[in-house]
A = this chain, B = another copy of it.
């Protein structure tokens, strides 16, 4: 199975739908700001996961298109506002929305995309869904959004603290990163008319997939070189002071003198590559990289076991492959 090819093909379905839906009205600059990030690419993993979940419970994939687009709108609204909050200047190789259009239009663009999320849901045809299921989807999406904002708020609060525990950190990324994947699995299964147990398991698969995605991204950041502002480098998360599972783990294990060394580099944008490598060596010394790698493998096995109750199908195979890929991917 060529998983990457399958993902690309599926992503195109949502690329097309997004381009068709985000047409311009007056004032043009506002709609330019609105479209900037949603149409700048992205892997469309959330809608793809919703679609696969719908198929895994035996339903047709087309039914999830409005829901999948809604997920992308919500996700993109969080990216646009997150970039304002983090004062980030670049995303997907482009200027962030507030850098290009200014903070007022970026705030309004994010707000409007949240509204579009729910508007899109109102296009799910009534015969497809019972009224009760429809309300459950609306409530699930709003609950997930609430959890997401809580997670983001926790992230802001944690940024000033060095005593965050691993359980606190896991709650934060479950809310901030995994929530929309949870919703994708749950919503796809609900739309596909899965039974309670199937809905629950696909929701849990989504959560685990989201957690893996975050941990793997953070591992790749310190294990492989990336091109950042024209320089090949490793560990940009360390320079940016980003809280990661490895950092939280290391902080809970580290001796006092190593801790001072570590914290003089973490979040210090002027630190050089050698100093970053020393922090990564401390992560290794305290077993933090192994710890994250083990969590990843544990989550992957758990995610696959969530699929045990599903009948055999192509979509089930793809979901299993995705859980493996989350551990093995190299970029």
Question: What is A's interface to B at a CB cutoff of 8 Å?
Answer: 25-27, 29-30, 77-78, 81, 84-85, 103-105, 107-108, 110-112, 114-116, 118-119, 121-122, 126, 130-132, 134-136, 138-139, 141-143, 145-146, 149-150, 152-154, 156-157
Contacts and interface: CB of A to CB of B under 8 A. Distances in A.
**Chain B CB within 10 Å — which of A26, A134, A142, A152 has the most?**
A142
A313 B30 CA distance: 44
Contacts of A115: 114, 142, 145-146, 149
Given A115-B145, A119-B138, A122-B142, 13 more contacts: A30-B157, A84-B103, A85-B104, A85-B108, A108-B152, A114-B115, A115-B146, A116-B146, A118-B142, A119-B139, A122-B138, A126-B135, A131-B131
Nearest to A33: B153
Given A103-B84, A103-B85, A112 B30 contact: no
A25 B171 CA distance: 13
B146 A122 contact: no
A99 to B, nearest CB: 16
B111 A149 contact: yes
* Closest 4 pairs between A and B when the two form their complex, measured CB to CB: A119-B142, A131-B131, A30-B153, A115-B145
A135 B149 contact: no
Contact of A81 (B25, B107, B135, B139): B107
